[in-house]
């Protein structure tokens, strides 16, 4: 019987713990497909962070290190600087990367550290049950903004790609979305390009993936995908912020 | 014999490097040595001191609460350290900067206008070396031969052309008939 | 022995690390240990290594975590406030059993404190400064020569036990210069590191470096394994120096710089006909209980001297376990114990415990 669809080799044949409708599974798959297609799983070291994907090493087949909250870019730096032949990526959520790990991501980017960052932005803390994230949109309800995110009280959401793109260090920064098939295909190309940038030794690459959290948003999976399209993309526009013409 | 020496003055007067040169020469003489700097937040202009121990036996403590020889290059250093010199010890004073005599009678003092002499020689930075000269002639702390070698080892190469003049300064200090 | 050099303590640590095969250093500037970073910044690029000034101590220790995870010999150094920031990383290194060498050139605290020498991080180093049931090997050199030798040894111990080995010095040790005699060849121990995350290359199963175990049963088992390892270290790796101990009835207990001062006190006491011995713990964890057992029958009293409020004192009290009186003298905030002050206390203890008995 012909196999027409299967899991990428870089993903383990196991079921994931993510909630129904969560896009982490898609994001994992895109990373794994990139590792497969580039034939680099055997020399890849992934850095898991703190958040829902803390145990992504149970899903990826490559070597993995579990990093303290926010520190994945620093851990990745240590790996890359000691083993430059390894392909190193971090997989971080918005709380990990844009709140507690702000210093680490900014400086890894500023150094042009030759690593790849996969940044999952779902505008909320998932694992700890739905608190405000640095990317939470204004007026969004969370368990710590029960009356909505109010600028005067909670400040404004952070647009990470735009912020990092102001730096000289990064080689490639793109924001993509996982809310429909067309965009998932684009996201796939972005993730793959990010790894290619690293393989070419061009320096820091990051792909932000707009993602869902139906459980903590209190939405059905379908409505959650619509929210990405209707509410998130207007604030977090898709596109390449750095390295548009970079050939790899 | 244990030489326990405190050198003190303003930052920039060569207090720390004088101590290092002395310790290095002691090492070349085959002695056990330690050099301990004061360290502070200022890079320039603050007070500086360093403690040097040169001994035939392993150095017990590099931290000196008392000493048997003191070199001072400013008034606050004399005020601070005069009392810690052990009986029978010596104080060597840069009298072009320090404007008072010592108060004690159980120790010897040697006043040399080192900064003035160095300035007349054309390089104020030799003042510390002139004072070290007096220390060496009085206490036989280290040999002159190894002092010269220590200069080559401790000073950066770009300053090696000054070493013949530094050795002249050392001899001026050694032979100076201090008050 | 080989080359003799007059070196600053901090530079001796850095040179020792390079000689021990540590070609990766990550750190953040802080007085009084910055010369380590300066030395590494000059030296490592010339020997094919990596020096990286991190954005914070937090980042630096996590870079150490990453490099250590690949099996690479790696080091960071800092001073007290910076070491506080590294505690998160130290706990992770312990939990995931990644070897690393960490240097703390201690300054006075708490808070930003001062920059003068202190021994007030003993609790933090020996009793677990970060969260969880963990230990690290703590080595306390007391000369520049020993800074060199114990730094080399720290890398061996770290690899041998997959543990953090900490060099606990103080501002004086870091800043002072003494003669160091380097060995022609370092006793580097080489260990296989099949656990390292360097890419499986299709040749083995995935390696995972992690400290998270959400099942309490699994986490307890992991902790039991750690404790079993710590027990072996306690049995095998205690180091100490006994000085002038054969005839002595009074003992000073001191480590690092203070042990040096204690030795001058012992010489002063000798001149007065008072025989004082020294117990100098070289490993602070594991604490060398054995040294106390060797002298307890003859000892009439102990005097612990520290640049702290009495932190090692607690381990001395446990070691003596009520069998003898233990006295304490401590200075804080960067003040250094004065030999005359210690001598006065020695005279007093001598009168109470030795002379009276005679």
pLDDT tens-place string over residues B65-86: 899 999 999 999 999 999 999 9
Question: Does residue A3 lie in a domain region?
Answer: no
pLDDT tens digits along A107-116: 999 999 999 9
Neighbours of C216 (CB within 10 A): 8
- Prior bond to C152 cis, omega within 30? no
Closest CA to A107 of A46, A168, A198: A168
Question: Cα distance from C311 to chain A (closest Cα, Å)?
Answer: 30
Task: Give B34's contacts in chain C (Cβ within 8 Å).
Answer: 176-178
Q: Which residue of B has its CA nearest to C33?
A: B39
Task: Give B59's contacts in chain C (Cβ within 8 Å).
Answer: 178, 260
pLDDT tens digits along A133-151: 999 999 999 999 999 999 9
Joined together, the tokens standing for residue B129 give: 């070396």
Let me know whether C289 and C192 are in one domain: no
Let me know whether C178 and C309 are in one domain: no
Task: Give A83's contacts in chain C (Cβ within 8 Å).
Answer: 70, 72, 198-199
Nearest to A74 among C62, C72, C96 (CB): C62
Q: Does B35 touch chain C (CB under 8 A)?
A: yes
**CATH number for A97:** 3.40.50.970
Task: Give A81's contacts in chain C (Cβ within 8 Å).
Answer: 24, 50, 52, 63, 66-67
Dihedral (CA of C189, C192, C196, C198) sign:
positive
Question: Quick one: how far is CA B59 from the chain centroid?
Answer: 19
Let me know whether C281 and C345 are in one domain: yes
Could C6 and B23 be called an inter-chain contact, meaning their C-beta atoms sit closer than 8 Å? yes
Residues of chain A with pLDDT under 50: none
Question: Cα distance from B118 to chain C (closest Cα, Å)?
Answer: 28
pLDDT, residue B178, reads 67
Number of domains in chain A: 1
Q: Does A86 touch chain C (CB under 8 A)?
A: yes
Where among C190, C220, C236 does a domain terminate? C236
pLDDT tens digits along C62-97: 999 999 999 999 999 999 999 999 999 999 999 999
Please say whether the beta carbons of B53 and B33 come within 8 A: yes
- Which are the contacts of B167, defined by CB distance < 8 A and separation ≥ 6? B148, B151
pLDDT tens digits along C11-55: 999 999 999 999 999 999 999 999 999 999 999 999 999 999 999
Name the residue range of residue C201's domain. Answer: 4-236
Task: Give B64's contacts in chain C (Cβ within 8 Å).
Answer: none
Please say whether the beta carbons of C94 and C163 come within 8 A: yes
Let me know whether C178 and C121 are in one domain: yes
Let me know whether C144 and C257 are in one domain: no
Let me know whether C168 and C59 are in one domain: yes
Could A75 and C66 be called an inter-chain contact, meaning their C-beta atoms sit closer than 8 Å? yes
State the pairing for strand pair B32-37/B2-10: unpaired
**Which H or E run contains B94?**
strand B85-94
The per-residue DSSP string of A159-196 comes to: -HHHHHHTSSS-SEEEEEE-SSHHHHHHHHHHHHHHHH
Task: Summarize the confidence of residues C105-133 as an average pLDDT.
Answer: 96
pLDDT, residue B44, reads 56
Question: Does residue A176 lie in a domain region?
Answer: yes
Q: If 0-12 CB within 10 Å is exposed, 13-18 middle and 19+ buried, where does residue C310 land?
A: middle
Q: Does C257 touch chain B (CB under 8 A)?
A: yes
Chain C interface, best mutation among A72, A82, A195, by max C CB count within 10 A: A82
Taking the C-alpha atoms of residue A136 and residue B157, their distance in angstroms, rounded to an integer, is 60
Could B41 and C261 be called an inter-chain contact, meaning their C-beta atoms sit closer than 8 Å? no
Could C176 and B35 be called an inter-chain contact, meaning their C-beta atoms sit closer than 8 Å? yes
ipTM entry: 0.94
Question: Does residue A9 lie in a domain region?
Answer: no
Name the residue range of residue A94's domain. Answer: 24-242
Number of continuous H segments (helices) and E segments (strands) in chain B = 6, 6
Secondary structure letter of residue C353 according to DSSP: I
Taking the C-alpha atoms of residue A197 and residue C142, their distance in angstroms, rounded to an integer, is 50
Nearest to C92 among A68, A80, A82 (CB): A68
Let me know whether C85 and C105 are in one domain: yes
Joined together, the tokens standing for residue C145 give: 């020569």
- Cα torsion B73, B74, B78, B81 to 10°: value is -70
In the three-class reduction of DSSP (H, G, I as helix; E, B as strand; rest coil), residue C21 is classed as coil
**CATH number for C260:** 3.40.50.920
pLDDT, residue B12, reads 85
Q: If 0-12 CB within 10 Å is exposed, 13-18 middle and 19+ buried, where does residue A124 land?
A: buried
Task: Determine the straight-line distance between the first and last CA of chain C, rounded to whole angstroms.
Answer: 47
pLDDT, residue C106, reads 98
Task: Summarize the confidence of residues C247-259 as an average pLDDT.
Answer: 97
- Give all domains of chain B, ordered by start, each with its CATH number: 2-175 (3.40.920.10)
Nearest to C177 among B34, B61, B65 (CB): B34
> Rounded to two decimals, what is the model's pTM?
0.95
Joined together, the tokens standing for residue C120 give: 């007030």
pLDDT, residue B43, reads 53
């Amino acid at each position: 019987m012909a196999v027409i669809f299967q899991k990428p080799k870089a993903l383990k044949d196991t079921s994931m713990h993510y909630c129904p409708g969560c896009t982490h599974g898609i994001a994992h798959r895109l990373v794994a497909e990139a590792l497969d297609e580039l034939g680099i799983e055997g020399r890849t070291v992934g850095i898991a962070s703190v958040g829902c994907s803390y145990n992504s090493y149970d899903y990826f087949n490559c070597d993995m290190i579990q990093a303290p909250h926010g520190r994945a870019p620093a851990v990745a730096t240590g790996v890359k600087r000691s083993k430059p032949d390894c392909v190193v990526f971090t997989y971080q959520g918005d709380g990990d990367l844009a709140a507690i790990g702000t210093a680490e991501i900014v400086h890894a980017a500023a150094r042009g550290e030759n690593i790849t960052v996969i940044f999952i932005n779902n505008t909320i803390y998932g694992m700890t049950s739905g608190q405000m994230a640095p990317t939470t949109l204004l007026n969004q309800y969370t368990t710590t903004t029960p009356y909505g995110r109010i600028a005067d009280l909670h400040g404004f959401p952070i647009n990470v790609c735009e912020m990092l793109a102001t730096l000289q260090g990064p080689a490639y920064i793109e924001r993509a979305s996982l809310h429909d098939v067309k965009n998932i295909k684009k996201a796939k190309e972005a993730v793959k390009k990010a790894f290619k940038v690293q393989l070419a030794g061009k320096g820091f690459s990051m792909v932000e993936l707009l993602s869902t959290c139906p459980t903590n948003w209190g939405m059905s999976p379908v409505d959650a995908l619509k929210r990405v399209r209707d509410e998130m993309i207007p604030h977090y526009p898709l596109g390449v912020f750095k390295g548009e013409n970079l050939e790899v | 014999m244990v030489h326990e020496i405190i050198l003190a003055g303003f930052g920039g007067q060569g207090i720390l490097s004088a101590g290092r040169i002395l310790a290095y020469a002691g090492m070349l003489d085959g002695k056990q040595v330690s050099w301990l700097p004061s360290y502070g937040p200022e890079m320039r202009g603050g007070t500086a001191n360093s403690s040097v121990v040169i001994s035939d036996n392993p150095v017990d403590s590099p931290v000196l609460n008392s000493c048997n020889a003191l070199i001072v290059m400013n008034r606050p250093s004399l005020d601070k350290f005069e009392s810690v010199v052990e009986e029978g010890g010596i104080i060597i004073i840069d009298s072009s900067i320090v404007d008072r005599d010592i108060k004690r009678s159980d120790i010897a003092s040697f006043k040399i206008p080192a900064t003035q002499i160095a300035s007349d020689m054309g390089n104020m930075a030799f003042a510390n070396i002139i004072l070290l000269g007096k220390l060496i002639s009085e206490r036989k702390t280290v040999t002159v031969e190894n002092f010269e070698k220590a200069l080559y080892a401790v000073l950066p190469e770009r300053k090696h052309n000054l070493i013949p003049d530094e050795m002249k300064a050392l001899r001026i200090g050694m032979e100076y008939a201090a008050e | 022995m080989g080359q003799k050099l007059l070196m600053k303590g901090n530079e001796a640590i850095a040179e020792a690390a390079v000689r021990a095969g540590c070609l990766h250093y990550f750190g953040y500037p802080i007085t009084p240990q910055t010369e380590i970073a300066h030395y590494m910044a000059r030296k490592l690029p010339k020997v094919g290594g990596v020096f990286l000034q991190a954005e914070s101590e937090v980042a630096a220790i996590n870079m150490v975590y990453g490099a250590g995870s690949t099996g690479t010999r790696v080091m960071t150094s800092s001073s007290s406030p910076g070491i506080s920031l590294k505690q998160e990383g130290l706990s992770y290194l312990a939990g995931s059993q990644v070897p690393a060498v960490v240097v703390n050139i201690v300054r006075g605290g708490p808070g930003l404190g001062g920059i003068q020498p202190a021994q007030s991080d003993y609790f933090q180093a020996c009793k677990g400064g970060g969260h969880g049931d963990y230990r690290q090997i703590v080595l306390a050199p007391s000369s520049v020569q020993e800074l060199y030798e114990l730094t080399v040894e720290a890398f061996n111990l770290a690899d041998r036990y997959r543990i953090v080995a900490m060099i606990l010095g103080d501002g004086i040790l870091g800043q002072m210069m003494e003669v160091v005699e380097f060995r022609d060849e370092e006793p580097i121990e080489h260990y296989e590191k099949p656990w390292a995350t360097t890419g499986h290359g299709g040749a083995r199963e995935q390696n995972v470096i992690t400290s998270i175990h959400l099942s309490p049963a699994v986490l307890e088992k992991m902790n039991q394994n750690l404790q079993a390892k710590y027990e072996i270290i306690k049995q095998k790796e205690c180091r100490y120096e006994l000085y002038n101990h054969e005839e002595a009835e009074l003992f000073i207990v001191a480590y690092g710089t203070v042990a040096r001062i204690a030795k001058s006190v012992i010489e002063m006491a000798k001149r007065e006909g008072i025989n004082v011995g020294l117990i100098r713990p070289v490993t602070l964890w594991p604490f060398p209980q054995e040294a106390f057992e060797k002298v307890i029958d003859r000892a009439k009293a102990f005097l612990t001297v520290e640049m702290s409020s009495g932190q090692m004192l607690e381990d001395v009290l446990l070691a003596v376990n009520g069998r003898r009186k233990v006295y304490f003298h401590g200075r804080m905030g960067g003040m250094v114990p004065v030999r005359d002050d210690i001598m006065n206390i020695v005279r007093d203890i001598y009168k109470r415990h030795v002379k009276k008995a005679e």
